[in-house]
Amino acid sequence: MSFSVKILGSNASVPAHNRNQTSQLLTMMQVPFLIDCGEGTQVQLKKNKIKAQKIDYIFISHLHGDHYYGLIGLISSLHLYGRKKDLNIYGPPGLKEILAINLKHSQTALNYKINLTEWIYGEQQLLMETQNITVHSFPLNHRIPCSGFIFREKPKKRRIDRSKVIADIPPSKIISLKNGNDVFDQDGNLQYKNEDYTLDPAPSRAYAFCSDTKYDEAIIPYIHGVDILYHEATFMDNMTDRAAQTHHTTTIEAGLIAQKAQVNKLLIGHFSTRYKELLPMLAETKTIFENTELALEGYEFSID
């Protein structure tokens, strides 16, 4: 089943150099999750031929405008296009009030329901759970309350070892083996020992999103070992002081977090507008963590 993230925007603060502000579309088990919603997000969805009405889950990291000013526009468009099904939004404290004020003063009564969960800042929190997926928030270190998100597949079932003779095993007993059980005959005698017929489950995949944060090793336990880590890298290394003052991260610092968290791949984004050319940022990060890529708009990164 596919597990991929499409970058819709990755510039910091303002749109510049044909780059939009932060937004990403993660797809797991064919379910799309919108992460952050900078002001260009609707246009980017259209450009990438993504149907906005299919999005049922939106996650907002914090209330700096470059991460959510597209949200009220998207909510409004979904209404105008006749949406009926619920929209589930997970965002910072205060977002409910902001949306309510927008809708109140435009005298808009939405023809669908918004279920808005405001996450609690400062702790890891299970935001949503399906049969196969969990999404947690965890605290980042920014100027205002800001959360990262981790999307994980739940542990999978054991796999039948096709190299073993299984043609004679009835389907109900195959299911039992996949569930990790030994299979017994009618007399209670062991018929198929689980470990003789099954292999370990396929690994569960995980994606971590760290929007805006200063360098902080406290986040490492939350993101340890994920397949792909998106981590902001607003500045290059010669602006470490400025990064610390503004609660942002440099290329080198993002590489260090990826290295210490032992992730597989690092995506860097939230590029300062001062950088038109991004390849030097990539090169600098790679001196610390080789498997790094730029989170460029329109690019899609898959986890196999």
Is residue 66 part of the annotated active site? The answer reads: yes
Nearer to Zn ion, 21 or 251 (CB): 21
Among residues 66, 185, 200, 241, the one annotated as catalytic is 66
Shortest distance in whole angstroms from residue 40 CB to Zn ion: 16
Nearest CA-CA partner of 74 in 48, 51, 107, 92: 51
Shortest distance in whole angstroms from residue 212 CB to Zn ion: 4
Shortest distance in whole angstroms from residue 143 CB to Zn ion: 7
Report residue 176 CA to chain centroid gap.
33
Q: 75 to 104, contacts with Zn ion by CB under 5 A?
A: none
Which strands make up the sheet holding 114-118, listed edge to edge? Answer: 114-118, 87-91, 57-59, 31-37, 23-28, 3-9, 300-302
Taking CB under 5 A as the rule, does residue 158 contact Zn ion? no
Which residues lie below 8 Å from residue 44, measured CB to CB, with a gap of 6+?
8, 9, 20, 23, 297
Quick one: which segment of 76-84, 109-117, 189-197, 206-214 binds Zn ion (CB under 5 A)?
206-214
Report residue 251 CA to chain centroid gap.
20
Shortest distance in whole angstroms from residue 11 CB to Zn ion: 12
Q: Give me the 16-55 binding string for Zn ion, x by CB under 5 A, dash otherwise.
A: ----------------------------------------
Say how many C-beta atoms besides its own lie within 10 A of residue 275's C-beta.
Answer: 19
* Count of residues interacting with Zn ion (CB under 5 A): 2
CB contact at 8 A, 210 and 142: no
Nearer to Zn ion, 158 or 247 (CB): 247
Alpha-carbon torsion 27, 63, 147, 218, what sign? positive
Taking CB under 5 A as the rule, does residue 64 contact Zn ion? yes
Shortest distance in whole angstroms from residue 159 CB to Zn ion: 43
Nearer to Zn ion, 39 or 212 (CB): 212
Taking CB under 5 A as the rule, does residue 212 contact Zn ion? yes
Nearer to Zn ion, 64 or 231 (CB): 64
Nearest CA-CA partner of 58 in 83, 32, 22: 32
Taking CB under 5 A as the rule, does residue 297 contact Zn ion? no
Amino acid at 304: D
Please, what is the angle between helix 279-286 and helix 251-261, to 10°?
A: 40
Catalytic residues: 66
